[in-house]
Amino acid sequence: MSEPSGTSGRPPVVTPTRVIAGVCLVIPFVAMLWVGSYAKLTPEFIGIPFFYWYQMLWVFLSSGLTYAAYVMVRREERARKEGAK
């Protein structure tokens, strides 16, 4: 069977950058699965109960953390390719 493009048969390398990127991706899951931390009505923000605006805030935070993880991994891959030449 053929290998996907970009792989050379080596196992993936775990680096500090990839660990940090993984943590950036896990943080939103932990924040949303810990319902007890935000299952309340107060404080309100412009009349919206905490339960709702907290979740909407995490939509934006999650996209920022996902983008940060993407940028970190892409920089590392680019640096690895430059070093291999």
Beta carbons within 10 angstroms of residue 43's beta carbon: 9
pLDDT tens sequence for the chain (85 residues)? 555 555 566 667 788 888 999 999 999 999 888 888 777 888 888 888 888 888 999 999 999 999 999 999 999 888 888 877 7
In angstroms, the Cα distances linking 73 to 12, 15, 23, 38, 48 are: 12, 10, 12, 31, 37
Rounded to whole angstroms, the Cα distance separating 2 from 5 reads: 9
The label of the residue with tokens 């990839």 reads 18
Question: pTM (2 decimals)?
Answer: 0.75
Locate the domains of the chain by residue range: 16-84
